[in-house]
Amino acid sequence: MTADLLIRAARAVTGSPGDAERPLAVGVTGTRIIAVEPLSSSRLSGRDVLELGPDVVLMPGLVDSHVHVCEPGNTEWEGFATATRAAAAGGITTLVDMPLDSVPTTVSAGALQVKRTAASGQCHVDVGFWGGVIPGNGPELAPLADAGVTGFKCFLADSGSPDFPPVSPAQMTEALGLAAGLDRPLLVHAESAEAAAAIQAAPGRSYAKYLATSPRGLENLAVAQVIEAARVTGGHAHIVHLSSSDALPMIASARREGVRITAETCPHYLTLSAEEIGDGETACKCSPPIREAGNRELLWSGLRDRVLELVVSDHSPCTPDMKEPGTGDFARAWGGIASLQLSLPLVWTQARSRGFGLGDIAAWMSAAPARLAGLTAKGRIAEGYDADFCVLAPDEPFAVDEGQLHHKHPATTPYAGRRLYGVVRASILRGQKIDLGQPHGQLLSRDAG
């Protein structure tokens, strides 16, 4: 068989469960993978051949299901061109945009159309969209699903956006029932607004005081509410950016009982720790907060035990001023970390030191996020899937240089100067190497069925 493109990889991982590195031949015709064979016995040929040596690993392109793009409306924070350029440079070939940081927020089919129009023609990777759940927009969920959203997102605590108010636990349960009827997951920002309201504090520059304003209990209580909502509705609830490791046994227990609940964590919770964040270092502020090193190790155990299935960036950008660099005031600073481009090397650097392989990375960062978003052609190297790849030099070290970061405000990164492993040599989208001058990303809809 002659493919348009034959990739001969001395090392490859496919995103299949329990996958280890092995030599593979991958045939691509048009935009799709047409064959995957062991390299030694493959008789595939190609009009073009990409020969990959033992210094690089062929991986499925990463799928980041948790990205805040902010365009239209807050394009000075981040836009589709810059975010997708950062994604492509970081080996991510598909991202899914969150519904809350743009104007309008994505809480109706009309607002989704405004966002798709804004994104059109300027994306370097494929882009999908989550729809938003806010109080009173239940009637909008079916039209949003018909218009192709990958699922829905709600907050149980203040979102930071007045256009995206939180729902009560009862409203969350109702929305989860509606989402289940539409065969979509409901993603939940799980911190309890009621418990948070009782905590009075002015952290100022103190990270310890900031951490005390967002204790694990806020997450633990909300996660328990989400589990019970999933139990009674039968819907698929997904906990975004889990920070409190206390919640892992609850989630594991619910899953054993057949409750449809999944959870993700993020590079910052797996990399940083409260002990190393200095007072006034608001670049590290995010919500929920980065906790102690012991908590971080338990999150790694959660990945090992497969209670946590996804690692996604929660790329949450802002302007440098919004991080309050002058005052270092944690109460006033924007809560969010922009890490799209560094997500893979950050997680890989930590993972390799704990005995994980790139097969694990592909499962957490490609296959599982694609599954959550219902993007059935994404996230794996297998016959019939989109020909999306990341070519990674996993043993090559580098130091993070702000000048190399493509998101809109590189100065907001907390990772400048950090030494990491894993250099992305190429990102390939639907069979074509991504050229940062020529956007060829498409806007995606969730696949039916």
In the bound complex, what is the minimum distance in angstroms from residue 64's beta carbon to Zn ion? 11
**Residues paired with 69 in a beta bridge:** none
Q: Which of residues 55-94 bind Zn ion (CB under 5 A)?
A: none
Nearest position to Zn ion, beta carbon: 314
| Least gap, CB of 34 to Zn ion (angstroms) | 36
Span near Zn ion by CB under 5 A; candidates 44-52, 127-135, 173-181, 306-314: 306-314
Length of the chain: 449
Closer residue to Zn ion in complex, CB, 191/314: 314
Bridge-based pairing of strands 310-311 and 389-399 is unpaired
Region of 119-127, 196-204, 307-315, 417-425 interacting with Zn ion (CB under 5 A)? 307-315
Q: What is the DSSP string of 386-415?
A: B--EEEEEEEEEEE--GGG--SS-GGG-S-
Least Å from the CB of residue 72 to Zn ion:
18
Dihedral (CA of 264, 267, 270, 272) sign: negative
Residues in 129-158 at the binding interface with Zn ion, rule: CB under 5 A:
none
Of residues 314 and 360, the one with the C-beta less far from Zn ion: 314
The single residue among 314, 360, 386, 388 that binds Zn ion, judged by CB under 5 A, is 314
Q: Minimum distance between the CB of residue 98 and Zn ion, rounded to whole angstroms? A: 5
* Segment near Zn ion (CB under 5 A); pick from 22-30, 244-252, 311-319, 423-431: 311-319
Q: How far apart are CB 448 and Zn ion at their closest, in Å?
A: 27
291 vs 430 by CB, closer to Zn ion: 291
- Which residues are CB-contacts of 293 (< 8 A; sequence separation ≥ 6)? 273, 274, 275
Smallest CA-to-CA distance from 380 within 395, 394, 359, 350 is with 359
How many residues interact with Zn ion (rule CB under 5 A)?
A: 1
Q: Is 16 exposed, middle or buried (0-12, 13-18, 19+ CB in 10 A)?
A: middle
In the complex, the smallest distance separating the C-beta of residue 267 from Zn ion, rounded to whole angstroms, is 13
Q: For the CB of residue 203, give the shortest distance to Zn ion in the complex, in Å.
A: 21
Instruction: Show the CA angle centred on residue 398, arms to residues 397 and 403, nearest 5°.
Output: 165
Binding window for Zn ion (CB under 5 A); candidates: 22-30, 258-266, 310-318, 324-332: 310-318
CB 220 within 8 A of CB 246: yes
Measured from the CB atom, the residue of 97 and 314 that comes closer to Zn ion is 314
Which residue, 33 or 318, is less far from Zn ion as judged by CB?
Answer: 318
Between 21 and 314, whose beta carbon lies closer to Zn ion?
A: 314
Contacts (CB under 5 A) with Zn ion, residues 378-407 = none
Q: Residue 9: enclosing H or E segment and its boundaries?
A: strand 2-12
Nearer to Zn ion, 126 or 314 (CB): 314
The dihedrals phi and psi of 124, each to the nearest 5 degrees, come to -90, -15
Q: For residue 339, which of 436, 254, 257, 406 has the smallest C-alpha distance?
A: 406
- Distance of closest approach, residue 336 Cβ to Zn ion, in angstroms: 7
Tell which positions 209-238 bind Zn ion, by CB under 5 A: none
Torsion-angle region of residue 148: left (phi > 0), alpha (psi -120 to 50) or beta? left
Distance (Å, whole) CA 264 – CA 238: 8
Q: Which is nearer to Zn ion, 97 or 388 (CB)?
A: 97
Q: Considering the rule CB under 5 A, would residue 191 count as an interface residue with Zn ion?
A: no
Residue 128 burial by Cβ neighbours in a 10 Å radius (0-12, 13-18, 19+): buried
CB closer to Zn ion, 157 vs 423: 157
To the nearest 10°, the Cα dihedral for 337, 418, 345, 310? -40
Q: What is the closest distance, in whole angstroms, from the C-beta atom of residue 394 to Zn ion in the complex?
A: 27
Interface residues with Zn ion (CB under 5 A) are 314
